Structure 1
Amino acid sequence: MTLENQLINKNFFETYMVEKENLHPIRVLGEAYVAENQKESSDLTMIRFAQGEVYYHHKDYEAAIFKWENINNEFLPWARKNVADAYFELDLLSTAEDIYKSIETDSDVLKIEVLLQLFSLYIEKGKLEKAVESIKNAVYLDPDYPDVTNIARAFFEEHQDWQNAVELAVNESIRTESLSWFHTLKSYVLDGKTAKIEPAYFSEALTVLYKNDLRQFENLAAALWKSYQGRDLYFAWLKEFNQLMKKFGGDHTHTWNDLSALYHETYFDLINGKRLIRDLSHLIPLHLKNWVTITSPSYALVASASVLAWSEIFPSNIEAEAINEAEQIISQSGTLENGLEECFMLFQSIMKWAEEHDVLMGERFEWMVKELLDLNAQHVLIAGMSSSGKSEFVQELLGDSVRVENLSASVMYKDYDAVEMTEVTDESIRIINDFSEIRTGSDRREQIFVDYKMPFAYLAENQLAVIDTPGLSSSNKFRNDVFQYLHFADSLLFVLNANHPLSDRELDIVVKVREQAPSLPVHFLLNHLDVAGSEQEAVELMDDTISRVSTYFPKAKIFAYSPQYDRNEQLSDFSVFIKSMMEERHLESERTEKMLHYIRKSIKFLLDKRVEKENGLIDDINWNEEMLTKLNGAIHQLEDMEEDKIKSIKHSYRDIKKTMEDKLSASIPEILRNCAETIHEDSDFSKLHVQLNEEMNQRIRDHIEENVLPEFRLSIQDWIAASEQEFNESQAFLHEMGDSFNELYGFNKLTLSCDFRILEDWKRDADRLTHGGIQLEKANILLRYTPTQILLKSAGKIFGLIPQNKAMLHNKYKQFVENEDYREIADNITASFIQQFELFEKALDRDIKMFFQDPYAILNTTVEESHTIIANNNQALEDMRKNPEVYKNPLTLFELKLKQYVWMTNIDERVKQYN
């Protein structure tokens, strides 16, 4: 045992026990102490140091401390450390800490031992930060010191200090290049303890591991990759790791299965359309370069296709070396397995994206693409001129189970266990019972497709699905039905009439077919061959037709047919013909090509929709601004109309009221003067003034009720009728205005109906006012205290008692009543009477406004809606122009995937074979 080990374990005393093992150390050291003390020049330091160790082991810590405190030679630092250890054991932790920290030494071993003791002390005191500092310092001094890194790792793990644990694992992995430490690091990664650490931190460790063990390097890299996926540092990881892989260059002696899979998964995740291309452009080129460099055989085709597709979409973005390597790989690869399903998944993702952006391709379009997945029957599109006998031939194929009718829609007949008819249009897919349901009520018959399924024995035997299109007529340039389904069909069978086979019109149509679908095999059926007078003529007719067809379609096959020949024999021959049409053809590959055609068409459609949508927003904004101008103009017209009606109707009412007022003011004085006739000589002059006042009021009330109000009632009725006429004119104008707006909107948006209940209210109020509804207060006519009245009343009381004075009073009263000026009282009574009619007049403004209230509200609401639409469209337009890539980028990435599939399926080669 070395001296350092003895000092560490406090076994230095054993140096005195040589050949004295059978004696107790205390005795041996005591005897040595006595012997040394007897020397002339004694040195008891070492013996004391050893004695302290023995006392320590026997837990006599005070005695040990006493011995060690008297050490002053080279063992002093160790003695100080031992003293601190003793205080530690005595649980005097603060004292022990102070002593540990005061030790000065050049020995790394002693330093580490002190740090380890402080580490334990701090744990005991709960000072974990200081414990971390102590153990990290110990590792820093000498990571090879026995168990120091294991102690540190265990402590970090126990206290879930993953940052320091990872740091320790990384440092030790780099320093020792030990796989065990790389395994430890990988365990931390798998447990998610590294996901928030900058990826660059692991670069050196990965570099070391790459040089030592490629398999372990791949495992650790894959673990780190997965730990960063979907997190904030994902892109930082991809950038850092791809830079590393570029530096490494890849090692072709190792098969990179895990990393190839991750490169594949990550690439397709990056281009899923949820990120902008500008955010990917700095990552993907190097990502693809590294992928194609290290790709495993199972990912070689897709990796190389991805490189070539990206270089097509973004030229000069990928290094030429990577492109050359991709071309070499793809030239040695087969076609993509399950390419049809893969392409359909891409199509579905495009449809989902389109739906999220409210851009619909149409039900018929999607239905056709899905139908391409059914590889159990080849689609034969049968077309021909109306006079070709096409329908009769289709009837022969189907047998008597169904009647083939001349429809304006295309029909696909397909074998199925049960009868099922489906009408497929751009707007909907619905089950129908028979053809009659689709014959009427459609203005866009070329967009209707009928899927007719039922048990068809001949179709089942030959794995056929027959698409019967409407007959072509010479009056039409060409029928849309034929051209709409060229990429849905696997072959085109064009029916010719033997009377005039392949006319210029027919040739023109078939050439157009080839232009639009160059990969579609075109074959011909020569119908009504029985027109030939003899077998020789039939052979010559057939040869001439073959010669003419071969000039334009050298690979086309021709089948001769006649309804006059034996049906079973001809159908048997046609089965052979059908098989020959499919020779050396691979239906799944061709369907994949068709699927890619529809994907390409979808992308173009959606790109065009982007422009169309922007233009639509602009048009919509302009249209709504024009409508806004018209609506505001309509509101101004309504305001003028309302103001005019208020003025006109109120003026008419005022005229009636003024006439009544004038008549009443003029008639009241006369009525009052006529009351003089009620004065007689035998009247009771003492009460006559009261009786006359009552009589005058009564005659005024009778006059109003019998003369004034009936006349006024008639005038008001005429006024209401005239107002109603004016209201009707206004309503008619508003209806016309609403119709004009509705015609512009294209639907019944505005219903500008006025509130005619106002007239009923007026009628009710007029009836109330003119049928005793007016309560006229009794007027004080003769009971006022004017000088004349006072005199008459007094005289009546005094002289009325004297009979001979009655004649004089009679004359005086009569004179007074007949000559009194009643204008003031007439004005007062008239004003009192007219007041109630003035209240009615004051309400006319409000009533007429209520009449027009609903049209106002509707127009103002529509104005607000227009403002909102304009604002929303302007915002949408601004967003589109500000961030056009939000819409275009996903479509560019869809196009990128399309090109990848084209490369993987070798479509271009198959296109050439039919040109």
Structure 2
Amino acid sequence: MRLEKQLIKKIYYETFLIENETHPPLQVLGEAYLNEQKNEISDGSYIRFAQGEFYYHHQDFESAIFKWEKVSNELAPWAQKNIADAYFELNQLSVAENVYTSITTDNKILMTEIILQLLSLYIEQNNINSAFAVIKEAVSLNPDYPNVTTIARSFYEEQQDFDSAVELAVNELIRTESLPWFEVLKEYIDKGFTKNISPDYFYQVLVTLNNVDQVQFTQIVSSLWHSYKNEQNYLSWLQTINEFFLQIEIHSSDIWDKISSLYEETYFELIQGQYMLNQLHDIIPNLLTNWLKVVNPSHSVFPSSAVLAWNEIFPSKIDSEHLKHAENLLIYSINHVNGLEYSLHLFESITQWAQKHDLEMSNRFRWLVEELVDLRTNRILVTGTSGNGKASFINSILGENILENSTSNVVVFKNEAHTEINAITDSTITTTEDFSDYQTMMSLDRQTYGDRACVEFKLPCKFLNKNKLTFVVTPSFNRNNDNRDETFEYLNSVDELLFVLNADSPFTDKERDILLSIQEHTPNLQIHFLLNKIDNIYSEAEIKRVLHDTQMRINAYFPNASIFPYSSLYTNRQQLNDLTEFIHFNFNHKNIDTERTKKLLFFIRKTIKYLLDKRVEMENSIVDSIKWNEDMLVKLNGFINNLTALEKEKIQLITESYRTMKYEIANDLTENIPKILQSCSDLISEESDFGQIDIELNTAMNERVQKYLEQTVLPNLARSMQNWIAISNNEFLQSQSYLEEISEGLNSLCGENRIQLECDFKVLDDWHRDTDRMTTRIQMEEVNILRRFTPAQFLLKSAGKLFGVLPKNNAMLYNKYKQYLENEDYTDVTASIINKFFLQFELFENAQERDINMFFRNPYNALEQAVENIHIEIQEKQDTLLIMKSNPEVYHDSITLFELRLRQCEVILNIGDDNSYTDLSLETNIE
């Protein structure tokens, strides 16, 4: 290796200077070359090689190249490499590259040096692809060569090629098992450079580190775990790490705490509902099994309960050995888990999920959960049979007559500084501060809300405040037990039960049966009794006897129950103090957290069942909505067809009415205009100027026609038009009335004021305006009546001009003109006048159909828009239904995971109960 180092540094020439250190190197090498030439068999290759090195160091690159080109011994490959180095220094990069790549050698060191030089050359040329190729070749050829992997890592990082950098780190870590490469790889992982790499790529890294250093192993596992989290390869990573842990032995040690925490965190992430069950079936069982392997036994509650809960929901997924191990760990572990907090988190998860999927959560369940997590207040359910004075007892405590005997609602009384009353149902919450509204709330039933309301009554109350109590008062049991369900539904929301008895007939068989049923329903609920109306008993001795007899009968069925005698008529401080002492002594809860958690889990189970029902209800509602909309579509299209027919009918009626009116006026004109024109014969006399008589008569005839039209025809026409508008208005009003009936019926079906079919009566205003304009005045152009070019008129005009100059001819002309005027056929003239007169009325008539269309346009648009909206709604509902039916797992998988978490809560809650694990069946099942 010493020679290779000299050749690499180009100081081989120093071997010739060992005995001549005081002489100049060039002189020594020259003398050595001369001496070599004197030998009979000479080879100056060594000296030429050394001379080339000396010239190179003094930047005489041409001389160096010349010398090295003459080297022909075993140093020839090194000489070739040096020649390429010289060309590199001369910046003749292409020549240098050709020389480098032409060198053939088996010397790994020389080949590595050539490759490294090529790397520098390619970087200089900005030929990055070739640079990548040669550095990979160097690492592959001689990774132990000094600085090769360091240079490769630096190059990859400079080029931002972190895939290659990660590959280098992985290979070197596996090959060298060295700490530096572990740190490099961990840095890459922590910076996110590996998140898109398939997790199984790191399997051998995990094997190596687990064998070499388990601390480093846990660190790299943690880094990879966090890097894959929320990435597309996350589940693949979990499969990889699960497979790995299944294959290795785990010995109890604190070094696994970090891995255990990762398993715990991951498990709770996976069961939040963001993944489908088909994605989790192959992951969760192994994940839980491995979690049990790495967890500290003292913290094994969560993984053990998770294993047992998963096995109940998905049997046969975890082998019996691991199940037995989980049971053993659970039996001998100490529960440090805050079950109430964990259960509340589960309920909040369900609530958020329901909101995300537009599912209606029960307001009542939400309110009850909030009540249960308030550990500062003790909740007592107060009930009894009808007539036992339950209402009078409550009112005496409150100091006000609030509760009525016949109430059919559950009422919750709580102490608060200010009065507030809330009516709470599954679907609504109604709030008021007015006591008068309370009576209305108490009368609300299922017909109002769809389900019975629970009324929360907050008010200042010293007794409730002093004792930190909330009274949950249920309707009394009557003869038919009609209120049984209302009472039983709230049993799991209270801490104990106070059953009110009547001192006149205490603890009847009916009351016994009711309480036994309650005990069967909630076996752990504490039950005590209040003997009301004690004032009805006439003596102290009798009171003692009644109390003793009642206590004996009660204790036969409820051995731990106590009785408190009470009189609602004589409420005094001492009686209330005694009641306080009775409550504190008898209603004692050593572990209220656990009891409240059990009750909370009950309502979580009820909530899951409620959401399952809501899912079915939602799907049925969508189907019903589609059917309803389809029926509505048929109705709307029918109404549109009816409207089209109505519009056509009105167009025909109104336009025909108008044409009839116009026809009658035209008939009058046809009859009267010729008469008017004939009557103009009285304008002629024998003294007339028959040379100009045609002009004068034409003017006079037009004036008489104009006067007739203005003074007679237009007033009549105006009256006729107003009458026609009145008729049209009646038709429009009938149409509007019909459309209002339609819209009222449609809106009644819709349950809201959705469709307005308002016609445009402005059309009538336009018609009134146009009628006033057309019938106020008419100005017609003068009609050529006597100046037309007809034979008769031509002869009369000619005769007038020819003979009119002679007075004796006037009589003859007078008779001719008079005869002509009285006997002339004015049909064409009359038609012309009528056409001109009716011109604007015809324009008005031509626009009538368009105007009537405008009158009906808004109802058309409203109906067509309603049809379009219903089409859109049907499509949206069908799309929603398709998604619900095609991807039922989106809903049911989440519900199943909520059941899993609920079951785990129940398992945890039962730790310590007889040191055994209890198998509780869920009431909510997925079909």
Question: Which residue pairs with 1:240 in the alignment?
Answer: 240
2:156 pairs with 1:137: no
Compute the displacement of 1:858 (Å).
Answer: 1.5
CA-CA distance at 1:897 after TM superposition: 1.9
Corresponding residue for residue 289 of structure 1: 289
Matches within 5 A, 1:842-853: 842-853=846-857
Per-residue deviation, residues 377-416 of structure 1 (Å, max 9, x unmatched): 1111212345222233234444x4x554436654433345
Within-5 A mapping of 1:265-664: 265-297=265-297, 300-335=300-335, 337-398=337-398, 400=399, 404-406=402-404, 410-416=410-416, 418-426=417-425, 432-440=432-440, 443-444=444-445, 446-454=452-460, 456-471=461-476, 473-474=478-479, 477-478=482-483, 482-503=487-508, 506-507=511-512, 509-510=514-515, 513-514=518-519, 517-550=522-555, 553-563=558-568, 567-583=572-588, 585-664=590-669
Give the Cα–Cα distance (whole angstroms) in 2 for the partners of residues 116 and 885 of structure 1.
58
Structure 1 residue 36: deviation in Å? Answer: 6.5
Label 1:542 to 1:676 Cα distance change in 2 as closer, same or farther (>3 A): same
Please give the residue correspondences for 1:746-765 in structure 2 after superposition, counting only pairs within 5 Å.
746-765=751-770
For 2:832, the equivalent position in structure 1 comes to 828
Change (3 A) 1:468 1:685: same
Residue 93 of structure 1 deviates from its aligned partner by 5.3
Using the TM superposition, name which of 605-614 and 322-331 deviates more. Answer: 322-331
Structure 1 CA distance for aligned equivalents of residues 130 and 851 of structure 2: 88
8 Å CA contact 1:593–1:907 kept in 2: the answer is no
Comparing 353-362 with 805-814, greater Cα deviation is found at 805-814
What CA distance in whole angstroms lies between the structure 2 residues aligned with 1:128 and 1:710?
Answer: 102
2:873 paired with 1:869 = yes
Count of residues in correspondence between the two structures: 909
For 1:450, give the aligned amino acid: E
The offset of 1:204, in angstroms, is 0.8
Name the SS of the counterpart of 1:682 in structure 2: coil
Whether the 8 Å contact between 2:757 and 2:858 is mirrored in structure 1 is: yes
Residue 222 of structure 1: how far off its partner (Å)? 0.8
Change (3 A) 1:855 1:19: closer
- Answer whether contact 2:476 2:483 (CA < 8 A) is retained: no
TM-score by length of 1: 0.90
Aligned counterparts of 2:810 and 2:434: Cα–Cα separation in 1: 115
Asked whether the equivalents of residues 172 and 181 of structure 1 are also in contact (C-alpha less than 8 Å), the reply is yes
User: Is 1:675 aligned to 2:674, yes or no?
Assistant: no
Contact 1:261 1:299 in 2 (8 A): no
Q: Which residue of 2 aligns with 1:735?
A: 740
Report the Cα distance in structure 2 between the residues aligned to 1:821 and 1:13, rounded to whole angstroms: 145
Alignment deviations for residues 62-96 of structure 1 (CA, whole Å, 9 cap, x no partner): 66666655544444444544555555566665555
Deviations 1:281-340 (A, max 9, x none): 332222222222222357522222222222222223333333332222222233353221
Question: Per-residue displacement from partner, 1:414-473 (whole Å, max 9, x unpaired)?
Answer: 345x3342424346657643422332376448414224153x443344332223345555
- The amino acid of 2:652's aligned partner reads K
Structure-2 change in CA distance of 1:804 and 1:309 (3 Å): same
**Secondary structure at 1:686's aligned position in 2?**
coil
Q: Which moved more, 1:78-87 or 1:374-383?
A: 78-87
> Aligned partners of 1:382 and 1:806: how far apart in 2?
130
C-alpha deviation, 1:162, in angstroms: 2.9
CA distance in 1, matches of 2:814, 2:912: 134
Aligned-residue offset at 1:192: 2.5
Q: Distance between the aligned counterparts of 1:912 and 1:135, measured in 2?
A: 64
Tell me which residue corresponds to 1:777. 781
Deviation at 1:246, TM superposition (A): 1.5
Match of 2:889 among 885, 888, 891: 885
Which segment drifts farther, 58-67 or 801-810?
58-67
- Aligned to 2:688, the other structure's residue is in SS state coil
**Aligned partner of residue 493 in structure 1, secondary structure:** strand
1:812-861, CA deviations, whole angstroms, 9 ceiling, x for partnerless residues? 33333333233333333333334443333323222222222222222221
CA pair 859-502 structure 1, distance change in 2 beyond 3 A? farther
Residue 725 of structure 1 and its aligned partner are, at CA, apart by 2.5
Whether contact under 8 Å (1:422, 1:431) holds in the other structure is yes
Taking the aligned partners of 1:347 and 1:686, their CA distance within structure 2 comes to 116
Q: How far apart are the structure 1 equivalents of 2:533 and 2:307?
A: 55
Q: Where in structure 2 are the equivalents of 1:30-49 lying within 5 Å?
A: none
**RMSD value over aligned CA atoms?**
3.6
Structure 1 match to 2:925: none
Query: Would the alpha carbon gap of residues 36 and 483 (structure 1) be closer, same or farther in structure 2, given more than 3 Å must change?
Result: same
1:334-361, CA deviations, whole angstroms, 9 ceiling, x for partnerless residues? 3353221222222122212222222222
Residue in structure 1 matched with residue 820 of structure 2 by the alignment: 816
- 5+ residue gaps, structure 1: none
Letter in 1 for 2:606: K
Residue 196 of structure 1: aligned partner: 196
The within-5 A match list for 1:691-730 is: 691-730=696-735
Deviation at 1:271, TM superposition (A): 2.5
How big is the shift at 1:209? Answer: 1.2
Determine the C-alpha separation between the residues in 2 that align with 1:423 and 1:187.
58
CA 1:569–1:286 in structure 2 vs 1: closer, same or farther (change >3 Å)? same
Opposite residue 167 of structure 2, the aligned amino acid is E
Which deviates more, 106-115 or 604-613? 106-115
- In structure 1, the residue matched to 2:183 is 183
Q: Is the 8 A contact 1:377 1:464 kept in 2?
A: yes
User: In 1, distance between residues paired with 2:105 and 2:515?
Assistant: 101
CA contact (8 A) 1:289 1:319 kept: no
- In structure 2, the CA distance between the partners of 1:19 and 1:522, relative to structure 1 (3 Å rule), is same
Contact 2:384-2:476 within 8 A present in 1 as well: yes
CA–CA distance in 2 between the matches of 1:861 and 1:266? 52
Tell me the TM-score normalised to structure 2 length: 0.88
Q: What is residue 906 of structure 1 aligned with on the other side?
A: 910
2:626/2:878 contact within 8 Å kept? yes
* 1:97, distance to aligned residue in structure 2 (A): 4.4
Say which is worse superposed, 420-429 or 824-833, in terms of deviation: 420-429
Q: Secondary structure at the match of 1:440?
A: helix
Query: In structure 2, what is the equivalent of residue 112 of structure 1?
Result: 112
1:814 corresponds to which letter in structure 2?
K
Distance 1:836 1:193, change over 3 A: closer
Q: In the TM superposition, what are the counterparts of 1:93-242 in structure 2 within 5 Å?
A: 95-123=95-123, 126-157=126-157, 159-242=159-242
- The amino acid of 2:618's aligned partner reads K
Identity of aligned residues (%): 46
One-letter code aligned to 2:856: F
Q: CA–CA distance in 2 between the matches of 1:516 and 1:318?
A: 34
Alpha-carbon offset, residue 14 of structure 1:
6.4
CA contact (8 A) 2:414 2:458 kept: yes
Q: Which amino acid aligns with 2:624?
A: D
- Return 5+ residue gaps in structure 2 as ranges: 921-927
Task: Determine the C-alpha separation between the residues in 1 that align with 2:663 and 2:672.
Answer: 14
Does structure 2 conserve the Cα–Cα contact (< 8 Å) formed by 1:285 and 1:317? yes
Partner amino acid, structure 2, of 1:375: L
Comparing 389-398 with 237-246, greater Cα deviation is found at: 389-398
Deviation per residue, 1:107-144 (Å, 9 max, x gap): 33333344444445555555555444444434333433
